[in-house]
Structure 1
């Protein structure tokens, strides 16, 4: 989840200090200090650059070590000023950003307007291969630093729409009006970077330096990352613990067992097999709440067999062959809700969520499913695979159930086969290399609480998280019009019109909205999840 993941360099040697605690299943939980929170985690796909990380595990770390212009309220998700003292505009196109005083990176250097401008120019430039470059497309001059034509070379090194006014002020000119643009600036791609990043990037990647409530002390890939409290942090969300040790687990069942045994303090991925028992198992230290997450499966539309009107009928038929109600009830209890649109109920109706917008494709109808698949010429090659990582999220259980549902509808035990991938990082690498041939999981955790974030990054032509390779001119046009609409209510309606195009083309099948679920030990207090289903690490206290 959380974004796509196109081009990324392999992680270099990033072990700074040898770690004593492995954290991959069991042990006495040693190695963490008395005031350090021990939490489950998974290795990120890419090095921890703000513009090159848009998956959940890496995003957790970036949220801890960086503070951007905006931040999202842990309870409501509302965007509020963080490093920004003000963001002002008269025309919804040119914005003047003024920074608060007194902020420094953890290496002691000041955070200035240039720290943002230089970081954004770096993130946008095609030559730097940043997967989040797409988030800078709204800034004037993006096409010059990141040309859309394959093989084209950049004609500029910097975005013409960025201008440093003084140490605390910079000006941003967008290519067109985008009234909601300031609300997106809590996303980590917009984080500032210190001079050290540009003078010695390799050294910075070994031990990232940020301006957030925590700093990275060490990282041993496959084992753990240790972060300590930033004692000089001036923000309101300063850490209330001494630090966090993120321990890598390849099985959420193992993490859950370690939590029960007192070897772990926080997990945010309760195994599906344990959700009914978690409340009693953990003595009430269990969290289950709505989150801005939707699980979907998508198709490799870059493969010829999934293109055209016949393939669209097959996709629609496959969607109607999946019994969402039964799967969510039997496997997930009350932690999942069958999806009927491509957003999330946490947005509310005013924010763009519309129950039932998906219509027929999201309803279980075996007879209609068989008819559509037959009309579309049958499954490509006679069968289809369903692929996902299986190290987190209890994905193996629902994949088995979804394939069983399809097989039962088609009366063919080999119509759908599960293709499990051991780790999230390996799964993402396969997707990034366009190696998918059948259905694959494309769940999404919102980057910021706007309907735009559930649609544009995933389905706009060549968008950063458009793993399917979907492209539709009408969808793109409606998204562009929505972004340019100054009135928020009217903008939301335009985005919903674009969503109707998805209901016709069905590049991805909405499965269910996902709650955030977490558990914690007796050793810690003040544990809660934000609307993104991520623990608010800075608030956790150690008894």
Structure 2
């Protein structure tokens, strides 16, 4: 396959077709041969990629940009007054997580990974950094998804610095020089990752820092190549509304988004059993068992459940955000 050619000119069957794309923007045009019922109402779309979310927010205010899916953390207190009748605020099928490179010797022991998890005060971050617009994640599956069950993680996701320190000592201590938490600067992540780093350092006594990289593409490129030597932000947005979508791609051996080296044959077997099960309730119960098994290994640290805050300019109307948090591109119109 010609991956480079596809990335420059992807082929699909949706309501829009890509006419050009680069690192700054992607331009799309309405696809005249689209056979679906939800025809696009605008002729052209341009997706712009910002390295600074505050710049994008100001462009929305100035009418230079028409939609922003997630506002900056610094505007959580003011966005409703800035965009009184042009905002969205609701839970979506997304979760923020910290992926651990389990192939690295200093992170190979599940006790080390659990100790890091227990060092994080998720509720404090949700309240103080996000003004209560996020919830502490206690598992890998969004509460908006069929099959979700609360508190799958148990004590491993409860903030307990003393227990975290004891667990780390049982594992022989941290064998690296420091912990780095990597994140992408083109999203609203700096504040909460820095807060996590500070909590981990205070709880475990291990030097911990937040490290930003330019954009999400850089994070994904390094993760896909198994190049990370340190933990990194690894959010997940559902592709379809099922608990299966939050587990198989990320945690099955060789999964399409398993980019931290995690593998557990027992988990693979349980996921396969769930995949084969026709009855939805029975299948969900098996996926829930698999989720609990994975959390015992803690290859990825649950972070925050997402409530999304989106805004749009006065240039557009009929703006809708779907259950995943995506703009419904076929409904939006120019005034």
> For the superposition of Structure 1 and Structure 2, which TM-score range results when normalised by the shorter chain?
over 0.9
| Distance in 2, Cα, partners of 1:376 & 1:301 | 15
| Distance in 1, Cα, partners of 2:26 & 2:207 | 42
- 2:275 corresponds, among 465, 472, 483, to 483
CA RMSD of aligned residues (A): 1.7
Q: Secondary structure at the match of 2:196?
A: helix
| Distance in 2, Cα, partners of 1:8 & 1:207 | 11
Task: Give the conservation status (yes or no) of the 8 Å contact 1:517–1:533.
Answer: no
| Distance in 1, Cα, partners of 2:186 & 2:39 | 32
| Distance in 2, Cα, partners of 1:277 & 1:255 | 15
* Residue aligning to 2:284: 492
* Residue aligning to 1:216: 18
Q: 1:30-45 counterparts in 2 under 5 A?
A: none
Instruction: Kindly provide the CA deviation profile for residues 448-498 of structure 1, in whole angstroms up to 9, marking residues without a partner as x.
Output: 111111001101111111112111111111111111111111011011111
Instruction: Kindly provide the CA deviation profile for residues 19-42 of structure 1, in whole angstroms up to 9, marking residues without a partner as x.
Output: xxxxxxxxxxxxxxxxxxxxxxxx
| Distance in 2, Cα, partners of 1:470 & 1:257 | 41
Pair 1:391-2:217 in alignment: no
Instruction: Kindly provide the CA deviation profile for residues 85-120 of structure 1, in whole angstroms up to 9, marking residues without a partner as x.
Output: xxxxxxxxxxxxxxxxxxxxxxxxxxxxxxxxxxxx
| Distance in 2, Cα, partners of 1:276 & 1:531 | 23
Give 1:214 deviation, angstroms: 1.3
Tell me the TM-score normalized by structure 1: 0.60
Q: What 5-or-longer segments of structure 2 have no aligned partner?
A: none
Task: Give the conservation status (yes or no) of the 8 Å contact 1:340–1:362.
Answer: yes
* Residue aligning to 2:98: 297
* Residue aligning to 2:128: 330
Pair 1:242-2:43 in alignment: yes
Q: 1:72-91 counterparts in 2 under 5 A?
A: none
Task: Give the conservation status (yes or no) of the 8 Å contact 2:106–2:174.
Answer: no
* Residue aligning to 2:81: 280
Tell me the TM-score normalized by structure 2: 0.95
- 2:58 corresponds, among 232, 257, 261, to 257
Pair 1:409-2:242 in alignment: no
Which 4+ stretches in 1 moved above 3 angstroms?
Answer: 206-210
Q: Secondary structure at the match of 1:537?
A: coil
* Residue aligning to 1:175: none
* Residue aligning to 2:147: 352
Pair 1:313-2:111 in alignment: yes
Pair 1:532-2:324 in alignment: yes
Task: Give the conservation status (yes or no) of the 8 Å contact 1:343–1:454.
Answer: yes
* Residue aligning to 2:162: 367
| Distance in 1, Cα, partners of 2:236 & 2:119 | 22
Mean CA deviation greater in 334-343 or 230-239: 230-239
Give 1:216 deviation, angstroms: 2.1
Task: Give the conservation status (yes or no) of the 8 Å contact 2:99–2:301.
Answer: yes
| Distance in 1, Cα, partners of 2:268 & 2:261 | 13
Give 1:306 deviation, angstroms: 2.1
Number of equivalent positions: 335
Task: Give the conservation status (yes or no) of the 8 Å contact 1:252–1:391.
Answer: yes
Give 1:223 deviation, angstroms: 2.6
| Distance in 2, Cα, partners of 1:403 & 1:305 | 17
Pair 1:231-2:32 in alignment: yes
* Residue aligning to 1:31: none
| Distance in 2, Cα, partners of 1:486 & 1:322 | 38
Give 1:382 deviation, angstroms: 3.8
| Distance in 1, Cα, partners of 2:226 & 2:97 | 18
Q: Secondary structure at the match of 2:148?
A: coil
Task: Give the conservation status (yes or no) of the 8 Å contact 1:385–1:438.
Answer: yes
Q: What 5-or-longer segments of structure 1 have no aligned partner?
A: 1-6, 13-46, 49-205
| Distance in 2, Cα, partners of 1:430 & 1:361 | 28
Q: Secondary structure at the match of 2:330?
A: helix
Pair 1:343-2:144 in alignment: no
Q: Secondary structure at the match of 1:407?
A: helix
| Distance in 2, Cα, partners of 1:488 & 1:447 | 18
Q: Secondary structure at the match of 2:254?
A: coil
Task: Give the conservation status (yes or no) of the 8 Å contact 1:391–1:424.
Answer: yes
Instruction: Kindly provide the CA deviation profile for residues 399-458 of structure 1, in whole angstroms up to 9, marking residues without a partner as x.
Output: 100011112223x4x621112111111121211221211211111111111111100110
* Residue aligning to 2:219: 427
| Distance in 2, Cα, partners of 1:373 & 1:315 | 9
1:382 to 1:217, Cα distance in 2 relative to 1, 3 A: closer
| Structure number, greater radius of gyration | 1
